[in-house]
Amino acid sequence: MPGPPPGLCWALLVLLAALGLGLIDLSVVAQEPFWADLQPRVALVERGGSLWLNCSTNCPRPERGGLETSLRRNGTQRGLRWLARQLVDIREPETQPVCFFRCARRTLQARGLIRTFQRPDRVELVPLPAWQPVGENFTLSCRVPGAGPRGSLTITLLRGTQELIHRSFSGEPPRARGAVLTATVLARREDHGANFSCHAELDLRPHGLGLFENSSAPRMLRTFALPPESPRLAVPRLLEVGSERPVSCALDGLFPVSEAQVYLALGDQRLSPDITLEGDALRATATATASAEQEGTRQLVCNMTLGGETRETRENVTVYSFSAPLLTVSESSVPEGKMVTVTCSAGAGALVTLDGVPAAVPGQPAQLELNATVNDDRRGFFCNATLEVDGEILSKNESTELRVLYAPRLDDSDCPRSWTWPEGPEQELRCEARGNPAPSVHCARPSGEAVLALGLLGPVTRALAGTYRCTATNVQGKVVKDVTLTVEYAPALDSVGCPERITWLEGTEASLTCVAHGVPPPNVSCVRSGEAEVIEGLLRVVREHAGTYRCEATNARGSAAKNVAITVECE
């Protein structure tokens, strides 16, 4: 008989290990004078692996023998009392090959047991929800398909490195393969961004093999909190075409607030909001601008989306067109006496009012006709338009001014006929004329010798006193007015009007007359020295009139005094 093949040697080693583990009872073999034996009697093979089985007998001359199994074969070697066969691609969880020989009309049999194991090559954590609400339970489920035997399998669910649940499947049937571990977990805010995973161990060390382990790919959990309330939406109730108005949308209690998405739109026009985050509050602000195509009632929509859920608020906005009224004047600058038409108009539906007088019906203009006079120059006209939009009265205004061209006028209020100034201090001569265009004014003496500088400060002298002719001129004509300038000054007593010595002839009639110069004309009174009685009127000259008299001149600007000596000559 040839020597055993290498595979058979391996089978013998497995047999010895089985004997050591007590898996084979040799007493059965020794009880019969002739027996059949199968080695290894019990084997544990990795799924898809191969195994040599040695079938032998002590029958001296067996008639025939064989190995019955459903497993695939790769090669067979024979001897007179033995048979070795290689089984390949072993996949069944458990099979029982039978070794048999025919000896002395009896069939000798030996039954074996082959079990497979499968490493935990696939450890799969079932996908987590895309978003998980905080405060609600979610399911962690780990699948380890095909791994086994299940009784040697242990599965652990992890949050990061923290062990959540650990389960051993010991006691499961030997044929059982694969396992599923499921746990219910309460989602927390701190779980946002956490990695969850599953770890599997197949421990075959008690069977003389090793420890096989594997882990799933981590799966990240995203948790969120979205309050049940709708966003607070602040929008204008009315929005004029072409105008810009701010809108805002806010919601509190968002987590993680940075992940929230905001959608703001006016009708089908999407707005571009600026986002402000503060704590767990989000505020979106944008500028809404309406076009003419959006006129009417439109909805302004704000929705906030987080974790696949949405909170939405809608508000109605009335988009309207309301142009400023048009205020026109047939001619903005007209000569005095010409007819002028003023018209105030606005768009359809608007009621206009011109200087307080409304149009007959909305949509029609209001008109005013007038014969331009001087009093109409710089006259303002006020046009008001009102429009009712969604129960609210809106108003817009426009104004304009009429210019009336007329010849100059020199009124006493602006150019007095007389001026009275004190001599000395600086004064400003004012003579202003009304007229359109603004007239130029020129004042000079009729002889043309002197010209008054109008509107300038200058010292006042007696030489300025007199009558001047003021002329106001513009393109519409001219006007002339004579004005008098009076310069007031204090009295003066000179030798001509009031000589220092006067001689009277006794027995004649005489009066003490002393003339003073001054403006306004001074009052002059003379009294004898040492006496209080004023000398007035004609006197019958006597010797007693001789003496010294004091004459005093007084006006509003001051006074002057002078001594006059009177001599009386006797006949």
For 151-183, write each residue's pLDDT tens digit. Answer: 999 999 999 999 999 999 999 998 999 999 999
CA distance 407 to 550: 59
Q: Could you give the 3-state DSSP secondary structure of residue 52?
A: strand
Q: Class for domain 124-224, per CATH?
A: mainly beta
Cβ neighbours of residue 258 closer than 8 Å, sequence gap 6 or more: 277
Three-point CA angle 140, 145, 149, nearest 5°: 115
* Number of neighbouring beta carbons within 10 Å of residue 361: 7
- Minimum mean pLDDT range among 421-430, 435-444, 503-512, 520-529: 421-430
63-88 average pLDDT score? 92
- pLDDT at 274 > cutoff 80: yes
Cβ neighbours of residue 517 closer than 8 Å, sequence gap 6 or more: 491, 492, 493, 494, 497
The residue assigned the tokens 């959608």 is 263
- pLDDT at 235 > cutoff 90: yes
Joined tokens for residue 526? 């003379």
Cβ neighbours of residue 99 closer than 8 Å, sequence gap 6 or more: 36, 37, 38, 53, 55, 56, 65, 66, 67, 83, 109, 110, 111, 112
Joined tokens for residue 55? 């079938």
Amino acid letter, 466: G
280 in Cβ contact with 252 (< 8 Å): yes
Cβ neighbours of residue 502 closer than 8 Å, sequence gap 6 or more: 512, 564, 565, 566, 567
What is 284-296 written as a DSSP string? EEEEEEB-GGG-E
- pLDDT at 78 > cutoff 80: yes
Architecture of the domain delimited by 232-320: Sandwich (2.60)
123 in Cβ contact with 214 (< 8 Å): yes
11-22 average pLDDT score? 38
Amino acid letter, 114: I
CA distance 340 to 328: 11
Q: Which fold has domain 36-117?
A: Immunoglobulin-like (2.60.40)
- pLDDT at 24 > cutoff 60: no
The residue assigned the tokens 């009697």 is 41
Joined tokens for residue 499? 């000589």
Residue 363 zone, left/alpha/beta (φ > 0; ψ -120 to 50; rest): left
pLDDT of residue 426: 81
Cβ neighbours of residue 198 closer than 8 Å, sequence gap 6 or more: 123, 124, 125, 140, 142, 144, 155, 156, 157, 158, 181, 215, 216
Q: With respect to CATH, is domain 410-489 assigned 2.60.40.10?
A: yes
460 in Cβ contact with 427 (< 8 Å): yes
- pLDDT at 295 > cutoff 70: yes
Shortest CA distance to 266 belongs to which of 323, 231, 314, 309? 314
pLDDT tier at 450, thresholds 50, 70, 90: low
327-339 average pLDDT score? 90
pLDDT of residue 458: 77
pLDDT tier at 4, thresholds 50, 70, 90: very low
Q: Residue 290: phi, psi to the nearest 5?
A: -100, 145
β-bridge pairing 457-460 and 424-428: antiparallel
264 in Cβ contact with 301 (< 8 Å): yes
Report the chain's mean pLDDT, rounded to a whole number: 89
Q: pLDDT tens digits, residue range 542-565?
A: 888 888 989 999 999 999 988 888
What is 56-78 written as a DSSP string? EE--SS-SEEEEE-SSEEEEEEE
Amino acid letter, 136: E
Q: Class for domain 493-569, per CATH?
A: mainly beta
Joined tokens for residue 140? 């962690």
Domain locations along the chain: 36-117, 124-224, 232-320, 326-403, 410-489, 493-569
Return the DSSP state at 225: B
- pLDDT at 304 > cutoff 90: yes
- pLDDT at 20 > cutoff 70: no
Joined tokens for residue 524? 């002059």
Distances (CA, A) of 568 to 24, 504, 530, 549: 192, 5, 19, 13
Q: With respect to CATH, is domain 326-403 assigned 2.60.40.10?
A: yes
CA distance 100 to 55: 8
Q: What is the CA radius of gyration of the chain?
A: 66
- pLDDT at 22 > cutoff 60: no
Same fold, 232-320 and 493-569: yes
- pLDDT at 204 > cutoff 50: yes
Cα torsion through 124, 126, 130, 135, rounded to 10: -120
